[in-house]
Chains A and B, each alone.
Chain A
Amino acid sequence: MEKTKRLYVTRKWRQTIDGYLFIMPNLVGFLVFTLFSIGFSFAAGFTNWDMVTGLANMKFNGLANFSKMFGDQWFIDSMVNVLYFVAFVPLQILVALIVAFIINESVFFTKTIRTALFLPYVTNAVIIAIVWAMLLNPGDGIVNNLLRTVGVGHPPGWLSSQDWVKPAIIVMTTWSGLGLNVILFLSGLVGIPKEIYESAEIDGVKPITKFFHITFPLISPTTFFILITSIIGLFNAWSHIQILTGGGPGSSSTVIGYYIYKAAFEFGQMGYASAMALVLFATVFIFTIVQWSYQKKWVHY
């Protein structure tokens, strides 16, 4: 009995070692390139490090970076701008859902339409930003020329206007992200059994009721996934801002990711940038936790 038990323990121990050996490459990569980097960034957030002068000049400065942050107009504006964009995520999801629903109900050219919708998602973000900057050029852009043709004497300044720059960016990001969201919703819609709809039709249920009581609940896991990933993506994305507006006019389109980049690499304030990254991490974490808590109320698996 004792011998069997020892044999069992030895075999289990060997299996454990084998398992760790198999995941060792990924684990080492994670420890070295991810966990170490996160830990180093966490530590750097409490220093005055500028990166260029080397680690020897890194000095601990306590919470100075954090207290500076909350008096920094640019940091506050960056966070407010991101929250502005986050507020439009439900609308972007709704647009994607409607488009997916239409495609799902269509008979003709569904593959072509799906491909056309997905193309922006796989196109380089820089190219998209450059093309949209040309479209939205307040002087010679196609959009304003069209508006002038239909009688709008003073069309918006778009990227040069503090009032219109954020709506312009929302339109661009909705267009570029629509494809992926539509594909995800389509896969969700396809998974809904047809029998449920047939039963509902037999019972005389109206289409709008079918949507809210059948379609929406059954694709709620997909909706939840898109909601989480869209919000996290918004907090992190900034390359399109760099190309489109450079964060301007003023700070009206600066997002936190771009400000962190500028602080780290242009202003030479890596410690301060690391502190902001920490705050960003905490913000995204809180958002995700809140969403996870509320998902029990409306997500049906």
Chain B
Amino acid sequence: MVRKTRVWYAMTAALLTLALALAGCSGNNGTAKPSDSASPAPSSSQPATTGASAPGGEPQGITIDPNKKVKLRYYTSSGYDQVEFDAAYPEWQKLYPNIEVELVLMSGGEFETSVKMASIAGEQMDVIATGTNTLERANPDTLYLPLDDLVARDGWDLTTEYGDYPEQFKVNGKLYSIPRAVAPDGVWYNKKYFEEAGLPDPSSGDWTWEEFFQDAKKLTKYDDKGNITRYGIQDWMFDVGSLATASTKIALYGGWEIVNADGTFNTDWTNYKKAVELLYNAVYVDKSMAPPADIAAKGLHWQNDYYAGKNAMGIGGRNGAIFQDLAVEYGQLTKEEDDAYIHTMAPMPRWDANAPKKQAYEEVIGDAISKTTKYPEESYLFMKWHSTKSVEIASKVAHRMPASRLLDTNALLENWRWYNNKDGKLTQGKQRDDLYGRMMDPEIKPIYYQNSVKFSYAAKMKLELEKHLSLLFASEKTLDETIENAKIATFKIYEEETAK
């Protein structure tokens, strides 16, 4: 009896141990195993391509089995993508009834880290939302599938479709994402405040960055106790985690990038130091701009505060024009101020008096295919449709400036007048010819990072830059110290990475 009991105990313990070991070593809790070789291979099934007509073009070399039921997962951090997806998805289902797409919304500030960890854990992801500043450039192959092969097989002319935008998503010579929409920078300004301060209207775009920040200083207001009641300027990119982008963006107008065209380290930081100095003086000398810590602690938002009169100007997306009706609907902007047309846009400042005017940095958002996808062809088809037709289909409820040049601009301009009101009813908004005209001004030339986006180590250098800038903008270091230390630290990274 004692022996039987002992044997029973031993077997129970062994079973428990085995169960524990299996649970710990198991894969994805029921989700599909990742594809180890996610490189696309042509399907041997009968071709059943039902591609969307131009824009996007007919998929030529991409074949899928129309009878094979596939479920894709599209990862994004934007709730607005959900709005667009919900509006356009029925059309997708008509085109590809066998391909179901689930949108996985991962909101919050840690989307890029979460996606990285999910990929390392082998979670099945198919399409991932990306952007100029959010694309994983340090190690893109660890997260995304290079798209060059798929695009070549498809015969898709990206230049005709998107112009230069795809260059923003090329790293080390490979394409990792397809552009979908753009957010070009512009200066939102309150005409009434400019008139009160006796400042010239900046619509011509003649102003330089120095003049811009001088205007910001004059537009800053204080109460009797010396507290700031209105900042001169707020930049949508200027908060913790984006200081490097905010400063390198200004320096870009002076032609500065952290690496040269051939990928070598840029040893001349004169223009970059000037850009940082402009921002630093705005925050700590002129006090025309809120410090990053205040932005975080007070929950400041450039656009909400701009409409509320807490900033006289805001560097934000020109595409904000297509949200003006929503701003009125949801009370950010009063109807009286909207009717008075005091909120409008000016072109971005130029580097100096000799630099060309009417240039603007453009942020591009796009979609990439995850390297853990089991369905690269299906993912490609969804990504292609999502980056082109979906934007147009959903344009009445989800207003985006498309990256594609082949969409019907007139239809978009008309659709952007529509919006869902608070009751969820589709409502026609105001005619905003002047504002839309400024938004789509053909004279404004887009500028982008040409060099630093191409080299993966530049992304690591930018992260290091962010660390040093956060100390400067917390007044823990001086400007000269920061530039000196940042230059040394980023050069060390450049040396280590290029030596590999």
Q: In the docked arrangement, what's the CA distance between A112 and B457, Å?
A: 58
Name which of B269-277, B417-425, B429-437, B472-480 contacts chain A: B472-480
Residues from chain B with a CB closer than 8 A to the CB of A14 are 6
Residues from chain B with a CB closer than 8 A to the CB of A28 are 17, 20-21
A24-B471 in contact (CB<8A): no
Q: What band does the interface of chain A fall in when counting residues whose beta carbon is under 8 Å from B?
A: 35 or more
A29-B20 in contact (CB<8A): yes
Name which of B167-175, B245-253, B292-300 contacts chain A: B292-300
Residues from chain A with a CB closer than 8 A to the CB of B66 are none
Known: A28-B17, A246-B240. 7 other contacts (CB 8 A): A21-B9, A137-B297, A160-B291, A162-B475, A245-B297, A246-B296, A266-B113
Residues from chain B with a CB closer than 8 A to the CB of A228 are none
How many residues of B are in contact with the other chain, CB < 8 A? 39
B241 shortest CB reach to chain A, Å: 7
Q: Which of A18, A53, A245, A252 contacts B476 (CB 8 A)?
A: A252
Q: In the docked arrangement, what's the CA distance between A17 and B13, Å?
A: 11
Q: In the docked arrangement, what's the CA distance between A133 and B299, Å?
A: 10
B73, CB-defined interface residue at 8 Å: no
B10, CB-defined interface residue at 8 Å: yes
B237, CB-defined interface residue at 8 Å: no
B405, CB-defined interface residue at 8 Å: no
- Interface mask (A26-65 → B, CB under 8 Å = 1, otherwise 0): 0011001100000000000000001111100000000000
A246-B120 in contact (CB<8A): no
Residues from chain B with a CB closer than 8 A to the CB of A139 are 298
Residues 456-497 (chain B) with a chain A CB within 8 angstroms? 460, 463, 467, 470-471, 473-476
B13-A24 in contact (CB<8A): yes
A53-B21 in contact (CB<8A): no
Q: In the docked arrangement, what's the CA distance between A162 and B296, Å?
A: 13
Residues from chain B with a CB closer than 8 A to the CB of A250 are 293, 470-471, 473-476
B139-A161 in contact (CB<8A): no
B243 shortest CB reach to chain A, Å: 11
A-B contact pairs, 15 of them (CB 8 A): A21-B13, A28-B20, A32-B21, A32-B24, A53-B142, A138-B297, A140-B298, A153-B225, A159-B296, A160-B293, A162-B475, A245-B296, A246-B296, A248-B470, A249-B292
Residues from chain A with a CB closer than 8 A to the CB of B327 are none
A157, CB-defined interface residue at 8 Å: yes
- Provided the pairs A161-B293, A245-B296 are in contact, do residues A18 and B9 lie with their beta carbons within 8 angstroms? yes
B471-A73 in contact (CB<8A): yes
- Interface mask (B120-152 → A, CB under 8 Å = 1, otherwise 0): 100000000000000000110011000000000
Q: In the docked arrangement, what's the CA distance between A154 and B410, Å?
A: 53
Q: In the docked arrangement, what's the CA distance between A17 and B460, Å?
A: 53
- Provided the pairs A158-B297, A159-B297, A251-B476 are in contact, do residues A22 and B13 lie with their beta carbons within 8 angstroms? yes
Residues 149-187 (chain A) with a chain B CB within 8 angstroms? 153-154, 157-162
Residues 205-253 (chain A) with a chain B CB within 8 angstroms? 245-246, 248-252
Interface residues of B (CB under 8 A from A): 6, 9-10, 13-14, 16-17, 20-21, 24, 113, 116-117, 120, 138-139, 142-143, 225, 227, 240-241, 291-294, 296-299, 460, 463, 467, 470-471, 473-476
A74, CB-defined interface residue at 8 Å: yes
B72 shortest CB reach to chain A, Å: 23
B245 shortest CB reach to chain A, Å: 15
Q: In the docked arrangement, what's the CA distance between A118 and B475, Å?
A: 39
Residues from chain B with a CB closer than 8 A to the CB of A204 are none
A292, CB-defined interface residue at 8 Å: no
A17 shortest CB reach to chain B, Å: 8
10 nearest CB pairs, A to B:
A250-B474, A160-B297, A249-B293, A249-B474, A160-B293, A21-B13, A52-B142, A159-B297, A25-B16, A250-B476
A267, CB-defined interface residue at 8 Å: yes
Q: In the docked arrangement, what's the CA distance between A32 and B22, Å?
A: 12
Q: In the docked arrangement, what's the CA distance between A222 and B13, Å?
A: 36
A265, CB-defined interface residue at 8 Å: yes
B109 shortest CB reach to chain A, Å: 8
A268, CB-defined interface residue at 8 Å: yes
Q: In the docked arrangement, what's the CA distance between A98 and B298, Å?
A: 35
